[in-house]
Amino acid sequence: MGFIERLEKNIEKLEKKMEKEQLKIVALEARCESKKITKAEFILKKRRHDEQIHAWSARIRVLQGGIVRENKHIEEKAEEKEKKKEEKEKKKEKKEKKEEELEEESEEESEEEPEEKENQHSA
């Protein structure tokens, strides 16, 4: 599970970065409202922060897709292992049945042989 845990850790880091960027935008809005920066300056800086947030959210979606793919891969592996186990059991059962049939046939043959010998002696 190390791979999935690493992906989840990276997602958490990116989410924290996104929260910090949101806080920076809020601070910029406050500066703009208090007339410390112009509206145009605010828009330019906000756009940069928004683009960064958008890039990180896209990266998060990619990582989440990786987690989903990995979980699916693990499930498929487990199913494949289960199938192999079932096939192995079936083969084992078939082999046991064949052995039982052979034993029954050999017992029947051994029972028939003494009867034939008795029939030959009495004739």
Task: Using the CB atoms, write b or e for 33-61: b if 16+ within 10 Å.
Answer: eeeeeeeeebeebeeebeeebeebeeebe
Q: Could you read off the pLDDT tens digit of each residue along the chain, which spans 123 residues?
A: 688 999 999 999 999 999 999 999 999 999 999 989 899 999 999 999 999 999 999 999 999 999 999 999 999 999 999 999 999 999 988 888 888 888 877 777 776 666 655 666 655
Residue-level pLDDT at 122: 59
Token duo for residue 5: 């845990």
Model pTM above 0.75 = no
Helix 2-33 with 39-122: angle, nearest 10 deg: 160
